């Protein structure tokens, strides 16, 4: 039995863990930062579980998980991380299978597309450019575009405003509870990919409208409105 299709005019995509596999660059920058701060390196899998609520949160967790750090030290660590991440951003990043086909198909359906990420804008825009994804998006809302980030629904409403599409006619595609909660708060359907970063939470325990093992699966869940 086929699942119901959502009538949509816009699709909002999460970035890290949904469009792009960025974990190696994030982990490299985190471990370069930890070394410079005189701390031990952390395993990739642990850093993986820290990604989702933006860079300040990632750095804080790297500095404080099973360790102690003062606020001044954390603030300094964020500056160090950003310096390293600017140099490695995109170096080992890959576009997930099916993403380009999905974006192409949605564009051919005349859907408006946006990228809504918790990654800071200074890293989001050059990364989209480097990966060749910039032309697909009519709007990009980053983690520091507004004073709030996902799971606050304001970032999704902002993306819809920029696209000129009412929020209930947009679909969110993400990989974590931050995406699902933001979509629910904004009154839009949400599909989650199973291959991304969900802060150590099994993705099938997150309330959503469906799971995607590959992005192209979203094409079976939408109808142009």
Ligand X SMILES: O=C(O)COP(=O)(O)O
Residues annotated within the binding site for Mg(2+) are: 14, 16, 175
Which residue ranges make up the annotated binding site? 14, 16, 175
Q: Is 14 in the site for ligand X (CB under 6 A)?
A: yes
Active site residue 14: yes
Out of 6, 8, 11, 16, the only residue in the binding site for ligand X (CB under 6 A) is: 16
What tokens were used for 209?
Answer: 């409208």
Question: Considering only CA atoms, which of 1, 15, 8, 4 is closest in space to residue 215?
Answer: 15
Scan residues 91-150 and list those touching Mg ion (CB under 5 A). Answer: none
What is d(CA 64, CA 59) in angstroms, rounded to the nearest whole number?
9
The single residue of 14, 21, 25, 28 carrying the catalytic annotation is 14
Nearest to 20 by CA among 135, 124, 157: 124
Residue span binding ligand X (CB under 6 A) among the ranges 12-20, 33-41, 93-101, 162-170: 12-20
Near Mg ion by CB under 5 A: residue from 17, 56, 98, 153: 17
Applying the rule CB under 5 A, the residues between 166 and 185 that interact with Mg ion are 175
Distance CA 28, CA 47 (A): 10
Which residue is listed with tokens 């404080």? 64
Residue of 6, 16, 84, 218 interacting with Mg ion (CB under 5 A): 16
The span of 1-9, 11-19, 94-102, 125-133 binding ligand X (CB under 6 A) equals 11-19
Structure tokens at 26: 């994030």
The nearest distance, CB 39 to Mg ion, in angstroms, is: 25
Query: How far apart, in Å, are the Cα atoms of 127 and each of 75, 160, 187?
Result: 24, 22, 29
List the x/- string, 52-91, binding to ligand X by CB under 6 A: xxx---x---------------------------------
Strand pairing category for 20-21 and 94-95: antiparallel
- Assess 51 for contact with ligand X (CB under 6 A): yes
State the Cα–Cα distance between residues 183 and 167, nearest whole angstrom. Answer: 9
- Tokens at 139, concatenated: 């709007």
Please give the Cα distance from 135 to 128 (Å, whole number).
Answer: 9
HSE, side-chain direction, 13 A CA sphere, residue 224: 9
Min dist CB 54 to ligand X, Å, is: 5
Q: How many residues does the chain have?
A: 225
Site mask for ligand X (CB under 6 A), range 95-134, x = bound: ----------------------xxx---------------
Annotated catalytic residues are: 14
Task: By CB under 6 A, name the binding residues for ligand X.
Answer: 14-17, 51-54, 58, 117-119, 143, 150
């Amino acid at each position: 039995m086929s699942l119901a299709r959502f009538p949509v005019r816009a699709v909002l995509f999460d970035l890290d863990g949904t469009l792009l596999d960025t974990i190696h660059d994030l982990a490299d920058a985190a471990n370069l930062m930890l070394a410079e701060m005189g701390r031990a390196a952390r395993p990739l899998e642990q850093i993986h579980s820290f990604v989702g609520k933006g860079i300040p949160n990632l750095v804080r967790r790297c500095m404080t998980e099973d360790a102690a750090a003062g606020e001044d030290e954390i603030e300094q660590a964020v500056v160090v991380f950003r310096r390293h991440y600017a140099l490695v951003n995109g170096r080992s990043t890959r576009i997930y299978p099916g993403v380009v086909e999905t974006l192409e198909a949605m564009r051919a359906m005349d859907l408006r597309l946006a990228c809504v990420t918790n990654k800071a804008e200074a890293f989001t825009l050059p990364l989209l450019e480097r990966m060749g994804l910039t032309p697909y998006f009519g709007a990009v809302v980053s983690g520091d575009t507004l004073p709030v980030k996902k799971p606050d629904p304001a970032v999704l409403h902002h993306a819809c405003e920029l696209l000129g599409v009412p929020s209930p006619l947009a679909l969110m595609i993400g990989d974590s509870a931050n995406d699902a909660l933001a979509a629910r708060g904004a009154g839009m359907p949400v599909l989650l990919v199973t291959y991304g970063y969900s802060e150590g939470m099994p993705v099938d325990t997150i309330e959503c409208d469906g799971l995607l093992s590959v992005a192209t699966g979203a094409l079976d869940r939408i109808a142009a409105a």
